[in-house]
Amino acid sequence: MAKKDAKRTADTSYLGKLFVGKPLPEGTRFTLIVNETPAVDLYPFACERGGKRDPVSSEVRAKVVGKLAGLSLPDSRDAGWCVDRLDVLITARTTEHVESEAHRRLVPLIKNYLGQEPLVSEVDEVSRDEGVREERRRFGHRPSCWDRLVGIEGVASNASA
């Protein structure tokens, strides 16, 4: 267990991943959605969907901010700024519900880009591609060139077949 804890950093925590890697303009809110009761430190941040959470004690806030020490955030923000804008939503969700919500949010963006209503397959493609990009970003995967995988000769022989 100690070995596992040694690898844990603010950047790899759930809150670190929620706060890092995006612009943080005024008006930003963060919602961590969990499908079970959160840890003691995060429970005071819980609220109902669409509701406002109760104020969080300075001790709880300081403890959470302390665990996020070292986060590199854009726009001259710090972990305390992000924690002050955090809500935890406790809700049971199925995979289908999450995918449906993603589709609902993607359709207007794709419609704006295409200038017309997107096909379901176009929304699925964007959703899949974003998932692949996020996974590559998180795990540091880099796509390899086809010619390096099979060799230049293999590409030439496949092209003539």
Tens place of pLDDT for every residue, the chain, 161 residues?
Answer: 344 555 778 888 889 999 998 888 999 999 998 888 888 889 999 988 777 888 999 999 999 999 998 888 888 899 999 999 999 998 877 778 777 887 888 888 888 888 988 888 888 888 787 777 777 777 765 655 554 544 444 444 444 44
User: So what's the pLDDT on residue 160?
Assistant: 46
- Cα 61 to Cα 9, 41, 84, 127, 130, distances in angstroms: 18, 8, 8, 35, 33
- Using DSSP's 3-state secondary structure scheme, residue 70 falls into coil
> Phi/psi of residue 21, each to 5°?
90, 20
Q: CA nearest 74: which of 22, 34, 140?
A: 22
As given in the structure block, the two tokens for residue 47 are 């609220």
Residues 28, 114: Cα–Cα separation, whole Å: 27
Q: What's this model's pTM, rounded to 2 decimal places?
A: 0.55
